[in-house]
Amino acid sequence: MCVGLLERQLELSGGVLQRMGLLFFLGAHFLLTGLANIGVWKQERQLYFHERGVGCYGTVPFVLSKTLLADAVPMRILPALLFAAIVYPTAGLAGIKGVQSAGSVDAIDAPIKAAMFVASLCLTNLCASAMFSCIGIVCQSTAVAVLSGVLYSLFSLLFSGFLANAKTLQDTWLGALSYLSILRYCFELVMSNELLGQYVKVTRMFPGDPGHGDEPLVSGFMIVHDYLGFNADFTEGCMRVIDAGTSAPQLQTSACWYDLYIPAIWFVAAVVMSIVLLKFCARDPH
């Protein structure tokens, strides 16, 4: 079972394909919900300039209260937690025992994988909201702001690694663009969560192929690394969230730490950028 096995158009088992689609659309859902943040900033622009002008508060307290208190906790983190509490067990994701689930995960690792899944959803939601806040602040027109937000959402969806294969993009100059997609890190983490440490049955799609009808086992590492193109290039020696006690990448069972800390850094940078844009770039409409 080598890389060529997957390159000859192998069809993954139905359970894996269903989980891939589910995990992609989960990330896409939280990405697109952040678009609502654009309208909020446009509506409160006049109120901000009026109250700041009379000395009620400064730019930093306003942005932090809007981002962390009024938006992050009630609108981003709590919905993600509720969503994960419903979807994670019912879909039989990693660590949940049941039919078609990745239930062979070590019982010790299962809570960590569930926590990684929840953290990834929360960070994706927070990053999207903060990015769209920057767009809403810098664009004077609501129509231009919404168009810019939609275009970035489409870009992020396209380069997430699901619609356009990351392995194929790595061979072109477009490969670097995938690292600008918020959704890439979420999709890479959840797919690594599901497949690493597992073995998946595949079925040849061509009836004339020798051995048609056989269902060979393919390691989850081969699908994540060689087919999807994740944890590749400069991330070959990445630090894993769950230490498998070996340096062999084929035996690792979890995603890399960078799939968590890069979105976290992205969120902090977007909040700081919101403060800078609102203080120095946004114009008083009065």
Q: Pairing relation of β-strands 199-204 and 217-219?
A: antiparallel
Q: Count CB atoms within 10 A of the CB of residue 55.
A: 7
Angle, CA of 244, 203 and 92, to the nearest 5°: 50
Tell me what pLDDT residue 51 has.
Answer: 83
Q: pTM for this one? A: 0.84
- As beta bridge partners, residue 11 has 203
Low-confidence ranges of the chain (pLDDT < 50): 1-11, 14, 98-101, 103
pLDDT in tens, 238-269: 788 887 766 666 777 788 889 999 999 999 99
pLDDT at 233: 55
Q: Which of 248, 244, 265, 14 is nearest to 106 (CA)?
A: 244
- pLDDT, residue 107, reads 55
Phi, psi of 203 (to 5 degrees): -130, 130
Which helix (H) or strand (E) segment holds residue 238: the answer is none
Rounded to the nearest 5 degrees, what angle is found at the Cα of 271, between the Cα atoms of 128 and 175? Answer: 50
Instruction: Check residue 181 and give its pLDDT.
Output: 92
- List pLDDT tens digits, range 110-139: 788 889 999 999 999 999 999 999 998 888
